[in-house]
Amino acid sequence: QVQLVESGGGLVQAGGSLRLSCAASGRTFGNYAMGWFRQAPGKEREFVAAISWSDGSTKYADSVKGRFTISRDNAKNTGYLQMSSLKPEDTAVYYCAAGFTILGARSYDYDYWGQGTQVTVSS
């Protein structure tokens, strides 16, 4: 089992940037695939990005391609989501997740979840 804690959310102006962090404890983080999801008020949780545990390959939702970058530092047991050119539509609670499905894009592909961190983009 792995425990995940997100941080780095906040209030930013449209066009700005934020880097979210996902600190992991428990089993070696390098053994897990990692993903990021988000949920806006009144909407279902949606896939944002994923990164494999093997070769570091990545996958992104079309809505964030070219703006967001997912990465991980297994030595630090930490995952990241670098967000740039933020839009008001990006406002949501962001969750990191860990599991064993390579580049999973569905919530059920992941076994462990953080508590979420709020990202609000003003216009």
The confidence score (pLDDT) of residue 104 equals 94
109 alpha-carbon distance from chain centroid: 14
Query: What size, in residues, is the chain?
Result: 123
The confidence score (pLDDT) of residue 20 equals 98
pLDDT digits (tens, 9 = 90+) for 68-87: 999 999 888 899 999 999 99
**Residue 36 scores a pLDDT above 80:** yes
The confidence score (pLDDT) of residue 72 equals 92
Of residues 74, 75, 90, 78, the one with CA closest to residue 9: 90
**Residue 29 scores a pLDDT above 80:** no
Distance CA 114, CA 3 (A): 7
Contact (CB, 8 A) for 42 and 92:
no
